[in-house]
């Protein structure tokens, strides 16, 4: 098994990265080969709508745009599982996550009718979302928004799909250095001390389950 772990956060050592690295450990615990990638280190854009992937006679399941993302897409589509993590900004994953998902999904999307996907292998997909949102706000709004992306994964990639949301996360180490008067540092840290170890365990389990 080969599992690709992708950090779609600009922060390399904070909540999203920590949970992804725990998922990587979970994958390795069941014998999977893993590769961890920070996509903010890459230079790329979203889909350019060049339609090269839809030309008659073109190789399917391939993005033809020449930048840093196209080789990563090839790696993902050759793997057995991919786990992507992103913080939630203004109710959505990062722009880099969105660019990745556009570029990954569009080459496998068939415009020839049924079946909807050219991809004939099985790729398990995991999503790890981190956010400042409270559980109520997530359940009553963000969960359904994120499900729109989550629900496309089985249609295109035919594998198992899992998602996990880490809620009310700790934004910074020292709140006194920032204008964040709307938040209680004490309450945030108390919540983090109790909840984040649980989040870590759940992401470890996701990595193991998707990589078996």
pLDDT at 6: 98
What are the residues whose beta carbons fall under 8 Å from the beta carbon of 52, sequence distance 6 or more? 58, 64, 65
CATH architecture of 2-210: 3-Layer(aba) Sandwich (3.40)
Give yes or no for a cis peptide into 156 (omega within 30° of 0).
no
Q: Which helix (H) or strand (E) holds 23?
A: helix 15-29
- Is the separation of the CB atoms in 92 and 128 below 8 Å? no
Query: What CA–CA distances, in Å, run from 98 to 1, 44, 102?
Result: 26, 12, 6
pLDDT at 85: 98
Name the E strands within the chain: 2-7, 33-38, 81-89, 92-93, 123-130, 158-166
What are the residues whose beta carbons fall under 8 Å from the beta carbon of 129, sequence distance 6 or more? 85, 86, 87, 88, 93, 146, 163, 164, 165, 166
| 41 CB burial (10 A radius; 0-12, 13-18, 19+) | exposed
pLDDT at 181: 85
The domain ranges of the chain are: 2-210
pLDDT tens, residue by residue, 77-110 = 999 999 999 999 999 999 999 999 999 999 999 9
pLDDT at 129: 98
pLDDT at 183: 87
Tokens of 3: 């599992």
Instruction: State the 10-residue block means of pLDDT for the chain, 212 residues long.
Output: 97 97 98 97 94 93 95 96 97 96 95 90 97 91 94 95 96 89 89 96 98 94
């Amino acid at each position: 098994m080969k599992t690709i772990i992708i950090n779609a956060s600009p922060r390399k050592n904070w909540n999203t990265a920590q949970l992804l690295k725990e998922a990587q450990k979970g994958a390795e615990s069941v014998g999977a080969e893993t590769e961890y990638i920070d996509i903010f280190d890459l230079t790329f854009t979203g889909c350019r709508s060049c339609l090269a992937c839809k030309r008659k006679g073109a190789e399917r399941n391939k993005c033809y745009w020449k930048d840093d993302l196209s080789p990563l897409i090839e790696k993902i589509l050759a793997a057995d599982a991919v786990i992507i993590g992103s913080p939630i900004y203004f109710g959505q994953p990062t722009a880099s996550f969105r660019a990745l998902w556009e570029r990954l999904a569009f080459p496998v999307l068939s415009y020839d009718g049924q079946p909807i996907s050219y991809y004939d292998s099985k790729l398990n997909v995991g999503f790890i979302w981190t956010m400042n949102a409270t559980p109520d706000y997530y359940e009553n709004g963000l969960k359904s928004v994120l499900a729109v992306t989550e629900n496309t994964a089985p249609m295109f990639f035919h594998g198992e799909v899992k998602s996990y949301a880490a809620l009310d996360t700790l934004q910074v180490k020292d709140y006194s250095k920032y204008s964040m008067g709307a938040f209680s540092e004490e309450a945030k840290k108390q919540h983090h001390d109790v909840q984040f170890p649980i989040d870590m365990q759940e992401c470890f389990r996701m990595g193991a389950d998707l990589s078996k």
